[in-house]
């Protein structure tokens, strides 16, 4: 990998890792649905030029946008809002990869071999260890929402495999637009005083919205899709496992130095062991089987 591409990988991980932090700050400043509604509004406005009709593909695009956009991020921000610890949310979200693998076997008839079965077992085993850590056990609401967020994004990947000739930012534009409408409706129904909160938001609150929108999309997703056009997906995706690790490290630093109220991150041996076990399992699932390497170099 070229030096510039290594720099891009590091930038993506840093952006996504910090996006966890800004998202946690955001749900402390705003109700979770309002926060993610504002995020998608910004992205939708920026990507208006890419909002194009794709005949024969719109049903799949709609399902992907609702599952992988609105529902996924609704559960993600609910997880952060209902969790004291970023570490539990960051680790559990990685289960989207083994979830997607299991669903591919059930619904697409794909075959997995012992190595990926081992990876799935390790990934879920690590999360089970985390759940029975006393500090995380008191935080199960956030864990459950994170599991639902991981499952929803995994289901959306099944429909994403059906897309044909839909460019990356065309899809991102539809996800942003539909997610904005979906989440704005939920916010209107279950949250209150949205206009007052927006008008009286602090600089920190607006900074969290802007950073989450630009870091996760403009740097994170754009950089990621650039890399997968140059390298095999199986080689690039494991490198993004650094993002949740950075999120946990940053959360620990903020908690230790009391840089922002609302961060109470702790680190125990069981958390380290469970997280390492889960990350290892996810990395194994992401690897290609030897036969796949011989058959094709494309994801």
Cβ atoms 157, 69 nearer than 8 A: no
Q: What average pLDDT does the segment 56-67 reach?
A: 94
Cβ atoms 201, 29 nearer than 8 A: yes
Cβ atoms 32, 78 nearer than 8 A: yes
Beta strand extents in the chain (DSSP E only):
none
**Distance separating alpha carbons of residues 191 and 118, to the nearest angstrom:** 43
Higher pLDDT among residues 57 and 264, named by residue = 57
Please state, rounded to an integer, the average pLDDT across all residues of the chain.
Answer: 85
State the pLDDT at residue 233: 52
State the pLDDT at residue 57: 92
Best-predicted range by mean pLDDT (1-10, 42-51, 274-283): 42-51
Please determine, for residue 123, whether its predicted confidence score (pLDDT) is greater than 60.
Answer: yes
DSSP code at position 231: S
pTM summary value: 0.85
Higher pLDDT among residues 168 and 44, named by residue = 44
- Tell me how crowded residue 238 is: count the other CB atoms within 10 A of its CB: 17
Closest CA to 183 of 76, 110, 109, 277: 76
Q: What average pLDDT does the segment 124-138 reach?
A: 78
């Amino acid at each position: 990998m070229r030096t510039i591409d290594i720099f891009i990988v590091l930038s993506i991980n840093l952006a996504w890792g910090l996006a966890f932090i800004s998202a946690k700050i955001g749900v402390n400043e705003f109700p979770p649905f309002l926060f993610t509604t504002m995020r998608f509004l910004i992205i939708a406005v920026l990507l208006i030029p890419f909002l194009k009709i794709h005949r024969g593909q719109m049903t799949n695009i709609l399902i992907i946008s609702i599952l992988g956009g609105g529902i996924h991020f609704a559960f993600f921000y609910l997880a952060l809002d209902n969790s004291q610890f970023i570490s539990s949310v960051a680790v559990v979200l990685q289960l989207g990869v083994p979830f997607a693998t299991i669903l591919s076997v059930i619904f697409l008839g794909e075959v997995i071999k012992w190595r990926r079965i081992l990876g799935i077992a390790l990934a879920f085993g690590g999360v089970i260890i985390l759940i029975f850590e006393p500090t995380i056990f008191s935080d199960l609401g956030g864990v459950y929402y994170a599991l639902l967020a991981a499952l929803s994004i995994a289901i959306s990947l099944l429909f994403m495999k059906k897309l044909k000739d839909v460019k990356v930012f065309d899809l991102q534009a539809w996800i942003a637009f539909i997610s904005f409408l979906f989440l704005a409706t939920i916010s209107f129904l279950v949250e209150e005083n949205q206009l007052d909160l927006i008008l009286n938001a602090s600089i920190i609150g607006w900074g969290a919205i802007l950073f989450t929108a630009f870091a996760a999309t403009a740097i994170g997703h754009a950089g990621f899709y650039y890399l997968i056009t140059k390298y095999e997906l199986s080689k690039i995706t494991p490198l993004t496992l650094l993002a949740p690790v950075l999120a946990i490290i940053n959360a620990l630093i903020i908690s230790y130095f009391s840089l922002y109220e609302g961060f109470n991150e702790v680190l125990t041996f069981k958390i380290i062991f469970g997280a390492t076990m889960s990350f290892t399992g996810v990395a194994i699932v992401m690897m290609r089987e030897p036969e796949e390497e011989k058959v094709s170099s494309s994801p």
